[in-house]
Structure 1
Amino acid sequence: MDTLKYALRFLTRAKAYTLISLSGLAFSLACSIVLLRYIHRELTVDAHCIHPETVVVPLREANGAVMPSATMYLDSVYFSDEQIAERCLVVPNEDAFVLYKNRSYQADILAVDSAFFRFFAYPLVAGIIDLKEDNAAVLTRRFAEQLFGNENPLGKVMNYDGKLIVVKGVIDEPSCKTTWHFDLMVSSKLQEWSRMNIEMLRVLSGVDLDAVNRVSSIYRKSEYYGLTREWFVPWKQFYFAPSVFLKEALMNHGNKAYLLILSGVVILLLTVGILNFINLYMVMMMKRSCEYGIRKVLGMSHRTLFASIWLENLLLTAASLFVAWLFIELTAVPVTRLLGESVGYTSFDGWLSLGILLLLPLLTSVYPYVKYAYRSPVTSMRNVSVRYSVAARAALLGVQYVFTVLLVVLSVYFICHFRFLTHTPPGFRTEGILEADLQLESRNYADQTPETEKALRERKGRISKALDECPYIDSWIYSSYSDFQISYKMKIINDEGVTIPMPVFYVPSRFFDFYGLEVVDGKLPDEYYDFSMVLNESAMKAFGYTKCEEAFIRGEAPLWISVRDGKVTKGGIEPMPVEAVIKDCFFGKLTDGIQPVVFSVGAETDDERISMSVKPGKEKELMNYLRKAVKEVYGTEEFDSVWLSDLIKEQYAYDRKITTVYSVFAFVAIVVSCMGLFGISLFDIRRRYREIAIRKVNGASAPDLYRLLGSKYLKVLLASFVAAVPLAWLIINHYTSGFVLKAPLSPWIFIVALLLVAAVSLGTLWWQVSKAVRINPVEVIKEN
């Protein structure tokens, strides 16, 4: 109890140092806790999965693309029936539409069998979770409120794809982050589905998955997709499985590289905060050095000394932790925008806080204890008036600034890199193009009757007519930005047998003119049913062609499959002439560079989203016109739309996240470091007031005193910068090693970072030095 009173009395007496130390540690802890909570949320995805260690998912690689699959599509049986306890099939239907009271609502739908709820547990809000009946449906709370408001949703009847479905239950989102994201679930028995199934298998715990994958993951030739292979991943690994992407699967996927980057930021921030805390605490300890020497003479044991130091650190840590959580609560909204999602409170928060309270005081107490426990009482008593540990404080401050400068350099580079990515033209038209889904129809045509198909065509025709008559559109086309996105590659073979994997884009002939793609050789084909081949310049160079007249290519596997009069035709497996060559563009992210591309040009299909070239200044009028047109056909003004320029920028969302995270936390690191600099300089300069007074009496000028008092800290900053530059260079080069195009790592990036840190830090120091320079020598000498 006496030790606690003594600790509290000392901390309240050293108000300035206590406040600075507490604030710096609180900011550092707040930022680290925010990032650690996000990392924990990513690492505990699908905690609502029932016995996830026994659930596996088959993956299939075809044409370089990896996607979840089902055993029914695999070429062999890799598990015996005795090894599989249960199966669950899921049919994803993204951007589908349901009708309620003659109004169309866009929804992400999962068609599942009843086994789904034995794989995943969801909180039940109302009704029952049961999809045994063919027309049963289970809604999320959010979607139920959107459709029915405050009305009881149970028993409500909706129309999906011409079928009536009845709401049997309402579920809530689980507390954890989930892989599946959907608005409602329907029974997989509702109809025949035209989409590919995704399957989850519950296998027995003794199954050797590695042995199964050694057999299944061998490349085999398939009839339609060339070389393919399959393997199985545990559900716990599926969220981070590399290259797994299927837009229609309504699945979230994680990025381990991003988590590693955030972990690095946590380490840097914690290091800055802890070093700042230790350095300031050592300053407070030095003010009591003589007192510690006297107490050791009077018999204070090592245990008592450590208890005193640990208790003071515990009180400071507890207060800092309280302020940190208060800061987290106050900044919840901007933090959600920063991370892209909200992170709710869980038991992890309590364990994390407890771990900080237990470990951090021990960590920060070691250095002060070692320094004072084994020092003789005489040295401790002489230390205040004779000599101070200037070198140790400067070293700790220097290491702290190394990490600060490192964060700032990385932040400045990532800002430059992001601007480079978003301001470099891709080579095709992006401005003034609106992409919209104006046909609020289901994409499942398996159960279409002649009557429903006729009604479907009539609605599509009305939309097309409205677009033709729109005065705010220069031209429009059935096309989507997905036509530009390089998702997977197919092996393309020329007439000399050269084989190169290339992405194949399936586009209509109007595609090139609409997006301003320049033809450099040959002539674009006219609109007709059969497909024609067009290459970009990089593809021509890759095959060694100089003119399109000499170019002939084919696919190793069918490039398209068509059905006429019940007869299946495989196209693109015979050599076809290249009709035209277009100028190279960045089809995809700039970091991937310009890639060779094959365009398979065919007839325009009305199943695609619609892209419109908008007349300048008529954007608002166009949106009002489209809302009116859609309402006349589908009874709702809501439809999905996005500007192509925004879509181009959105593909760099990951780069924007990294840039924002580093910029925000680099600023925090600067603030924390400046707090440490302020506290240390406050102690050092006040200790030299008598020296300053004597120098002023002997004729020292203000510039002389500024150099005397500030040169030491300037040297520390410069030394930290020199140490941080190679570290930053290594990290940036490692991060961008796989980029074909990237922002150059120019010297001015390091100079800007140095000037930024120096301006803020020396600005903090300037106030202290100016105050010392203005002292009255007579008063100081009298007091001393």
Structure 2
Amino acid sequence: MLLHNLLLIYRNIKRFKHSFFINLIGLSTGLACTLLIYLWVNDERSVDHFHQNDQRLFQVMGNLENEGKVLTQSGTPKHLAELLSAEMPEVEKAVTVTPPAWFPKFTLNAQHEPLKGVGKFASVDFFQVFSYELLQGSPNQVLADKSAIVISEKLAKSLFKSKENALGKSLEWDLAGLKKQCTVSGVFKNLPANASEQFDFVLPFESFLDIIGRGVNWDNVFNTYLVLKKGVDHERFNAKIADFIQRKNPGAKVELFIKPYADNYLYGKYENGIQAGGRIEYVRLFSLIALFILLIACVNFMNLATAKAANRIKEVGIKKAIGARRSTLIWQHLGESTAMTLLSFLVAALLVVLLLPAFNELTGKQLALNWNANLILGALAIAAATSLVAGSYPAFYLSSFKPVAVLKGKLSTSGGELLARKGLVVFQFGISIVFIVAVLVIYQQIEFVQNKNLGYNKDNLLYFEMEGKATANPEGFLEAVRKIPGVESVSNMPGNIVWGPGGNVPNVDWKGKKIAFQNAGVSYGMIETLGCEMRSGRPFSKDFSADTSKLIFNEEAVAVMGLSEPVAGQVIDFGGRKVEILGVVKNFHLQSLHEPVKPFFFRFDRQYAATVMVRIAAGTEKKTLAALAQFYKDYNPGFVFDYTFLDQTYQAQYVAEKRVAVLSRYFGALAVLISCLGLFGLAAFTAERRGKEIGVRKVLGASVLSVVRLLSMDFVRLVLLAIVLALPIAWYLMREWLASFTYHIELQPWVFVLAGVAALGIAILTVGYQAFKAAIVNPVESLKTE
């Protein structure tokens, strides 16, 4: 029986070559898209789940009431880990770690060419809380000595040729003029690609305390991670620690809670103290895209199988007449769909292998088609679901024919059957139209983000960290940079110029209410170098020594504080001290446009101002950069000139959106292509089935144009219906997506008109081609073959 069914499958492929290839292309394309998205989704969901204590590993977070809303922040006091370990029996281990964005790259020197590396400070139990594999050293000892350093395998090979040679060797780290000799106490295995934080070395937190001081303070600026003991309910633990800081520090308003560490990557967005999504939204989005593309391909299979049913009625009739049961026929047709799916799956796997390098470049991943147990099970599940969805309706439909009617050549087409087939076509093109609208809207929003006036000039503006001799004489260094041809302006400031959303910001008690102010310490000329525009007052100036104690607020801060004009020159009680307002700067965006402009102030700070900002004259970028690099090499022998353009840092905030835009274009085009393939096949079968009718009409004088119109109108009506149904859905979905941006475009009617016209035009071309082919056939030939 199996051989017989395989023979029938082979004969049907030979008999219906066109539908076979249409199904093969459609299903294999749909399966390839699904496989690629499955690999991407799997990788996204695996991020940070490799730690041995994954289910018990948490980060301590804080909720803080701010102007009637709740601000969620990751920052905690530096000694919180010690207090929780000592006073909470539920805590197995806890560590304090400096936040990932705190430091630029360190310079590491081991008596040869220096290297740049990303590092962090962490307390003693770091390698016991996190499961980063140590190749050299013991987890409970590598950070015990404050002169230690634990480096990655890659860094060990770069500095000491091998991981074995690294242990016990000395090296020096340098960060903005801070230098320290340390000894390699351990080497950890290179971090896996699915680790959300990538770093090259870890330094003891004790050595950081030597720099910042060991006094107890309650500034919420560090990250605290902990491992709960087995069996501890983390919700009950949350209730227990909610007021922990308030008990220790009366007057504090922070409510603590813990969240699974691995959730930081996918569930990093909070609104008013409640988890409100994050990257998980894109995981869900692309999972839906994969589902819909696969459904479109399955719809093609179903439609083409039922459309060519007239050509298989005798086969069904004869089998039923000689005693075949309906269940036997159902299994036969399901077997055909399974064979088609498996063949398509093989083609899809080949396509994935070919497309994976390009897909990795688009997504910034390192995905590979490794046929492990999870991937095999996932692939089998996708293939089985596809086979069942694609083959079930044709199987039940074809097996339902009455043998007497079939053998007499009478095949009645029910209204329900036609409605189902037409409904599937409407579904296909409806999804395609939603894709077209999404591509247009996402493209517009990304263009808007890139071109919006941000309140400062990010073009031709680069920044880098002072090192070596530069830190000993910052003013002399800046003056020398200022003299380089092509340099328009230069200044310096401490820390990173761009803050992430929900960052740790000071809360100032202002007239009975807490206001979260973002702020930046700057030196002379920084506001001018950034290109920020003053609304009133002036920037910091060397000509006025008293400026160093004054503040410059943005417009949003002035509005929130309810200050009356003129603002410049006012003396206010700010944060427990009298402060004069030097000026007001117009609102500007350093965060992404997902975030509203926050209350902000500039303060004067030259003590740790190691970040240098340089504006280059337009048109001289290449020449000026070469001169800067040569100057830095001569001024700081042995140090690498490692710079970043500010517009790159700004654009990096929209990496996810840009990838969505690009992937949506590709997947949208594929959805339209697969839909057109189905329409192409249906149009071909319709033209074939109505061949005699076309011949008679032409004999009676019908023109080619009238025949084309006759054959096309049924499909055009379906596409028009799809447009009417899909556009409101597309409008709703795009409105919700745009709502995630505080600043966004307005949805324009022309976008929806263009999407509808594009879908209609594509459908007319697809159907029109087949209709024209049928219309130009000699009517004599049509009448002979019928």
TM band (smaller chain)? 0.7 to 0.9
The equivalent residue for 1:365 is 391
Residues 417, 743 of structure 1: 8 Å contact kept: yes
What is the CA-CA distance between 1:467 and the residue it aligns to? Answer: 0.7
1:327-726 paired onto structure 2 within 5 Å: 327-346=351-370, 347=372, 348-381=374-407, 387=413, 389-437=417-465, 439-440=466-467, 457-458=471-472, 460=474, 463-479=477-493, 482-483=496-497, 485=499, 487-492=503-508, 500-527=515-542, 528=545, 530-542=548-560, 543=562, 545-548=564-567, 553-555=572-574, 572-593=575-596, 595=597, 597-605=599-607, 607-636=609-638, 638-726=640-728
The equivalent residue for 2:215 is none
Distance in 2 separating the partners of 1:281 and 1:15: 13
Distance in 2 separating the partners of 1:342 and 1:717: 40
What is the CA-CA distance between 1:478 and the residue it aligns to? Answer: 0.7
Q: Which amino acid aligns with 1:233?
A: K
Q: Which amino acid aligns with 2:343?
A: A
The one-character-per-residue Cα deviations of 1:414-466 (angstroms, maximum 9, x if unpaired) are 111111111222122222222223x246xxxxxxxxxxxxx674375674354
- The yes-or-no answer on 1:103 pairing with 2:120 is no
The equivalent residue for 1:308 is 332
Q: Which amino acid aligns with 1:693?
A: G
Q: Secondary structure at the match of 1:534?
A: strand
1:241-280 paired onto structure 2 within 5 Å: 241-243=267-269, 255-280=279-304
Q: Secondary structure at the match of 1:590?
A: coil
- Normalising by structure 1, we get a TM-score of 0.86
Task: Classify 1:427/1:169 alpha carbon distance in 2 versus 1 (closer, same or farther; 3 Å).
Answer: closer
Unmatched 5+ residue regions in structure 2?
174-178, 213-220, 272-276
Task: Classify 1:476/1:421 alpha carbon distance in 2 versus 1 (closer, same or farther; 3 Å).
Answer: same
The one-character-per-residue Cα deviations of 1:624-648 (angstroms, maximum 9, x if unpaired) are 2222233234445743322223333
What is the CA-CA distance between 1:104 and the residue it aligns to? Answer: 2.2
The equivalent residue for 2:235 is 210
1:140-289 paired onto structure 2 within 5 Å: 140-147=152-159, 153-155=165-167, 157-160=170-173, 161-166=179-184, 168-169=186-187, 171-174=189-192, 177-186=194-203, 192=209, 194=211, 198-218=223-243, 220=246, 227-243=253-269, 255-289=279-313
Distance in 2 separating the partners of 1:143 and 1:277: 54
- Normalising by structure 2, we get a TM-score of 0.86
Task: Classify 1:370/1:552 alpha carbon distance in 2 versus 1 (closer, same or farther; 3 Å).
Answer: farther
Distance in 2 separating the partners of 1:243 and 1:782: 69
Residues 138, 186 of structure 1: 8 Å contact kept: yes
What is the CA-CA distance between 1:162 and the residue it aligns to? Answer: 2.7
Distance in 1 separating the partners of 2:668 and 2:203: 48
What is the CA-CA distance between 1:477 and the residue it aligns to? Answer: 0.8
The one-character-per-residue Cα deviations of 1:471-498 (angstroms, maximum 9, x if unpaired) are 221210114894464645544565x656
Distance in 2 separating the partners of 1:744 and 1:191: 49
Q: Which amino acid aligns with 2:400?
A: Y
Distance in 1 separating the partners of 2:106 and 2:337: 58
What is the CA-CA distance between 1:682 and the residue it aligns to? Answer: 1.2
Distance in 1 separating the partners of 2:320 and 2:135: 66
Task: Classify 1:501/1:697 alpha carbon distance in 2 versus 1 (closer, same or farther; 3 Å).
Answer: same
Q: Which amino acid aligns with 2:323?
A: G
Q: Which amino acid aligns with 1:66?
A: Q
Residues 493, 553 of structure 1: 8 Å contact kept: no
> Structure 1 residues 280-289 or 203-212, which shifts more?
280-289
Task: Classify 1:378/1:149 alpha carbon distance in 2 versus 1 (closer, same or farther; 3 Å).
Answer: farther
What is the CA-CA distance between 1:749 and the residue it aligns to? Answer: 0.6
What is the CA-CA distance between 1:725 and the residue it aligns to? Answer: 0.9
Q: Secondary structure at the match of 1:547?
A: coil
Task: Classify 1:113/1:217 alpha carbon distance in 2 versus 1 (closer, same or farther; 3 Å).
Answer: closer
Q: Which amino acid aligns with 1:424?
A: K
Paired residues in the alignment total 744
Residues 21, 281 of structure 1: 8 Å contact kept: no
> Structure 1 residues 85-94 or 218-227, which shifts more?
218-227
What is the CA-CA distance between 1:61 and the residue it aligns to? Answer: 4.6
What is the CA-CA distance between 1:520 and the residue it aligns to? Answer: 2.7
Distance in 2 separating the partners of 1:668 and 1:701: 35
The one-character-per-residue Cα deviations of 1:221-278 (angstroms, maximum 9, x if unpaired) are 9879953222122334343453489xxxxxxx96222222222222322222222222
Task: Classify 1:760/1:117 alpha carbon distance in 2 versus 1 (closer, same or farther; 3 Å).
Answer: same
* Matched-pair identity in %: 20
Task: Classify 1:720/1:554 alpha carbon distance in 2 versus 1 (closer, same or farther; 3 Å).
Answer: farther
The one-character-per-residue Cα deviations of 1:750-775 (angstroms, maximum 9, x if unpaired) are 11212222333332223212211211
What is the CA-CA distance between 1:169 and the residue it aligns to? Answer: 3.7
Distance in 2 separating the partners of 1:352 and 1:77: 42
Task: Classify 1:643/1:154 alpha carbon distance in 2 versus 1 (closer, same or farther; 3 Å).
Answer: closer
- The yes-or-no answer on 1:4 pairing with 2:6 is yes
The one-character-per-residue Cα deviations of 1:716-736 (angstroms, maximum 9, x if unpaired) are 111001110111111122223
What is the CA-CA distance between 1:712 and the residue it aligns to? Answer: 1.1
Distance in 2 separating the partners of 1:71 and 1:27: 53
What is the CA-CA distance between 1:677 and the residue it aligns to? Answer: 0.9
Work out which of the residue numbers 112, 131, 155 in structure 1 matches 2:142: 131
1:22-41 paired onto structure 2 within 5 Å: 22-41=24-43
Q: Secondary structure at the match of 2:491?
A: strand
Q: Which amino acid aligns with 1:290?
A: K
Task: Classify 1:116/1:489 alpha carbon distance in 2 versus 1 (closer, same or farther; 3 Å).
Answer: closer
Q: Which amino acid aligns with 1:617?
A: G
Residues 108, 116 of structure 2: 8 Å contact kept: yes
Residues 498, 650 of structure 2: 8 Å contact kept: no
Q: Which amino acid aligns with 2:612?
A: I
Distance in 2 separating the partners of 1:541 and 1:119: 45
Work out which of the residue numbers 77, 83, 91 in structure 2 matches 1:84: 91
> Structure 1 residues 164-173 or 345-354, which shifts more?
164-173
Residues 136, 165 of structure 1: 8 Å contact kept: yes
What is the CA-CA distance between 1:185 and the residue it aligns to? Answer: 3.7
> Structure 1 residues 33-42 or 528-537, which shifts more?
528-537
> Structure 1 residues 216-225 or 138-147, which shifts more?
216-225
Residues 272, 404 of structure 1: 8 Å contact kept: no
Residues 556, 600 of structure 2: 8 Å contact kept: no
Task: Classify 1:411/1:194 alpha carbon distance in 2 versus 1 (closer, same or farther; 3 Å).
Answer: farther
- The yes-or-no answer on 1:47 pairing with 2:49 is yes
What is the CA-CA distance between 1:102 and the residue it aligns to? Answer: 3.6
Q: Secondary structure at the match of 1:36?
A: helix
Q: Secondary structure at the match of 2:780?
A: helix
